[in-house]
Structure formats: C-alpha cells, structure tokens
Structure 1
Amino acid sequence: MTYHLAYMNLRGRGEPVRWVLKALDVSFTEERIDVLTQWLSRKNEFEWGQTPVLMVDGVQLHQTTTICRYLGEKHHLASTDLWNATRQQEVVEAFHDVSFDFSLAFTARIKQDETLKNNSLEKARKRLLEIVLILESRITDQGWVLSHDMTWVDVFLAAYLESYSAYFPEILEGVSKTQALMECVMALPVIKAWLKIRPHWSSLEDPQNFL
C-alpha cells in the first residue's frame, strides 16, 4: 500500500495528517502546493476541489478527519470501543470546526481585510477555550482521550494544539492533562524528529506576523 499526501505549503489542516502518518511510522511521500502561485491552477485536479488529499494506492481520499481516522483504524491506532470512539470523534470534529475560522482569517489576511481577520481569530480563540475544557474532562488517568492507550485521536489533537497554542498560548492554561497529552505526543521519537526538520511557518500563517 502506498501513501502520497498532497497539501498546500502550509501547516493548517495538513499538519494533523502528517503527524498521524509519522506516528504510524508508515512510508509516504508528500507534495506541497504553493498556495499563491500553484493552487488555483491545480485545484481541479482534486475531486472535491480541496486539500489535504491522501492518495491511497492512487485513489484520492479527502478531508482531514476522514484521512486520519482511516489511517488510525487501518494501522491499529484506534479505539475498538464504538462508544468511546464516537465520543472521541466529538472532540475531533469540534477542533476541526475551529479550523474553519482560521481559514477565514487566513483568506482575510490575503485579501487585507483586517476586520474579518481579527473577528475570525477572536471567534476561534473563544471557541478553543471552550473546547479545551471539554477535552480536559475526557482525558483518562492514562493520559489519553477516552482510552487507556494512545490513538490517532490523541495525535490529531496534539497537532492542532501545538499549532493553535502558537497563536493563543492561553488555551493551555489550567488544563494540565491537555498540555501533558500534547507534550507526550510531541515527545514520540518520530514526532520529535519531524519537529526538528519540518518547514518553518509559511509567511502567510506565521503567528509572529499574523496576529
């Protein structure tokens, strides 16, 4: 089985997929599409007109959460308890919903619409503060979300937490279990190695220039 990830030259919604692929220690190739110079001319290559896309033996698989869930279940990094897996998915979808506001802010920045950018970022910040409190309540004594062992959900959430906290460090205040989960995933040798070599933030999404 071969995997090829196509995403823009950003972290965004592609970063959780990268982390899950790394955590699984499966071989994959990646193509980074320049969002300013290549995306519009290549958009129609993708069935849903969006990325990330994971090519699985040449077949396109779309949507970040769908890709990560498939990988987790395929490679035995998923909860086998249907109820717990379903409640994990609640948290996953809530985090992914926030990425919509970040996408709006990102687009607004390209269009130099400061009002929309700031409003979208503030909406994301407030929602994240609410979501992280719920996440905190669902982390077990073993340190994982509704599981005794790490699943793809933990890796997915850690990737988003690492990115979102670069914009809003306060989302990790007072949630020790959530912070510990993120740090445990980041300490995995394969993730630790990735963090050392991954491309720096795109200038379009760099928190230092964005806020």
Structure 2
Amino acid sequence: MAPKYVLNYFDVWGTAEPIRLILHYAKVEFTDNRVKKEDWPAMKPKTPFGQLPTLEVDGKVINQSCTICRYLGREFGLAGSDNWEAAEIDAVVDNANDLRQQFRKVFEMKDPEEKKKMKETLLTETVPFAVSRLEKRLKNNNGYIVNGKLSWGDIYLVHLMDLMEDIISEDLKKTAVHALALRKKVHELPGIKEWIAKRAPNSFSAAKLLE
C-alpha cells in the first residue's frame, strides 16, 4: 500500500513549494494542507520544532524543507547514485540557500546606506559569482547538477530561480544559459508542468525584499 502523505504549510509557495514540485513529479497522491494564519498558534506546539513545513508519512512527522526534499528524493529515485553524489547535491543546495540568506540580510538591514551597498554587492558580485559556478557545474554534468541526470536538487534550484525571477537582469540571463535551460526542462516535466499551470501566483517578490 502506498504511503499516505500530508504536507502542512501556509497558503503560499514558501519553503514548501519544492516539496510540492517533487510530489507532483512523482505523481503520488498527497494532501496539500494549507494552514490558515489563525489556526497556526494552536498547531505550532504540535509540530516537531514549532515550524512549517512538515510532512506526515503514514502518521509520522518530519520538518525542515531540505530534509523533506532529501527524503522524498531517496523515495522517488531523485537522490544521488552513491553517497558522494548525494553529498554533491546537498552541497549545491546548501550553497544556494546561503545565497538566499544574503537576501534576507539585506532585507533586515536598518541603515539605508549600508543596505544600499550590500544590495549592490549582492546583485553585481555575489549573485553573478554564484551563477558562474552553477553554470560550470551544469555544463560539466549534461545540464544537471550531478551525474547528468535529474535530482531533487535540480528541482529545488529551479524553485529558487522561480522565486528570484524578478531580479534576474537581461545581462545575467545571457550568462545563465545552462541554468535557464534547466529551469525550462524542469517546468516541462510531466506532473510539474500540470501543477505549474494551475498553481496560484507567487506572493513573494525578491525585488521587494531588496527595497
């Protein structure tokens, strides 16, 4: 009997969206439980560490977005072929999340001048450097991050690209050839393609985060 999956998160893309993408790619049935803000205070103490998303698998519960993606990757053949490939996927995803944290730092800065400087550094140095390293890896792996085949890490990266769509300049697009090709391939995958066509628009704006 197939496991019973329940994904708990708020009614936004957020950190649950890559989990949704993997589940739709795998074409497994799952309950996409959209937690209402007013219901969260009562639910919070019942979660493992007071955070969402959580994934229930036949009543057992885990949290942390990347942990859930990694678990599902192993379940659905989207993990590395060995421990080294699995570690490479983890490293790429961890580096991408480090970059995302840089956006959070800019958002949280109070001093306008310091914020302006950090934003400029982020967009003109940090992001282009990260893209150049990603491009090299994709080029060397037949368009994927590891071993020339789709992994949960590719789906996770495409989700981050979707989140940052409104800050991808035309100049950056010219250098991100392999990354944008990966994004297109993932968007066209059966299961994911159908989900993207019907999901609600993203309420997050990377450009807004940098204001």
Change (3 A) 1:105 1:15: farther
Could you tell me which residue of structure 1 aligns to residue 69 of structure 2?
Answer: 68
Contact 1:2 1:56 survives alignment (8 Å) = yes
Deviations 1:118-144 (A, max 9, x none): 788667655433322222111135211
Deviations 1:7-30 (A, max 9, x none): 122212111111111112221111
Measured in 2, the distance between the counterparts of 1:132 and 1:117 equals 22
Query: Which moved further from structure 2: 128-137 or 187-196?
Result: 128-137
Matched, 1:18 2:14: no
Deviations 1:75-96 (A, max 9, x none): 2122213223212211101122
Q: TM-score, normalised by structure 2?
A: 0.81
Change (3 A) 1:147 1:131: same
Matched, 1:33 2:35: yes
Measured in 2, the distance between the counterparts of 1:127 and 1:33 equals 35
SS of residue matched to 1:32? strand
Residue 104 of structure 1 and its aligned partner are, at CA, apart by: 6.2
Could you tell me which residue of structure 2 aligns to residue 129 of structure 1?
Answer: 128
Could you tell me which residue of structure 2 aligns to residue 148 of structure 1?
Answer: 148
Residue 117 of structure 1 and its aligned partner are, at CA, apart by: 8.5
Deviations 1:41-95 (A, max 9, x none): 4322211111111111111111111111111111212221322321221110112
Identity %: 29
Aligned residue pairs: how many? 204
- Give the aligned CA root-mean-square deviation in angstroms: 2.9
Deviations 1:131-168 (A, max 9, x none): 22222111135211122221111111111111122344
Change (3 A) 1:32 1:121: farther
Matched, 1:191 2:189: no
Measured in 1, the distance between the counterparts of 2:176 and 2:130 equals 11
SS of residue matched to 2:43? helix
- Which structure 1 residue ranges, 5 or more long, are not aligned? none
Matched, 1:85 2:86: yes
Larger Rg: 2
Residue 200 of structure 1 and its aligned partner are, at CA, apart by: 2.1
Change (3 A) 1:119 1:67: farther
Contact 1:19 1:155 survives alignment (8 Å) = yes
SS of residue matched to 1:61? strand
Contact 1:53 1:61 survives alignment (8 Å) = yes
AA partner of residue 29 (structure 2): S
Measured in 1, the distance between the counterparts of 2:47 and 2:119 equals 28
- Residues 160-199 of structure 1 aligned to structure 2 (within 5 Å): 160-169=160-169, 171-199=172-200
Q: TM-score, normalised by structure 1?
A: 0.81
Change (3 A) 1:172 1:7: farther
- Which structure 2 residue ranges, 5 or more long, are not aligned? none
Deviations 1:171-191 (A, max 9, x none): 544021111111110111321
Measured in 1, the distance between the counterparts of 2:87 and 2:146 equals 10
Contact 1:101 1:123 survives alignment (8 Å) = no
